[in-house]
Amino acid sequence: MMWRILHRLFGWDYVAWRNSVDQGIARVNVDGMGRVYYWRYKSTRLADFITEPERVIWLTCGPEKYLRSEPILRTN
């Protein structure tokens, strides 16, 4: 299970996803606007935003690490 090694080495977090056709394990990413996503099919560049944390299985952390109930306000 390569995702466990990568989590230990780099601290990357992973989720397990499943749909009616396929399933897999993907790394959790955050874009510049603070939206949480994972690459479902990286070869075809299909990303899924995680808006409902119960739709994926969090393997290396809990959803509260990335998804907060109140928005974070950034000031310059």
Report the pLDDT averaged over residues 2-6: 92
Tens of pLDDT, residue by residue over 10-55, are 999 999 999 888 899 999 999 998 899 999 887 788 899 998 999 9
The answer on pLDDT for 70 being more than 90 is: no
Domain ranges of the chain: 2-65
In 2-76, the DSSP E strands lie at 14-18, 23-30, 36-41, 46-49, 57-58
pTM of the model: 0.81
Q: How confident is the model at residue 75 (pLDDT cuts 50, 70, 90)?
A: low
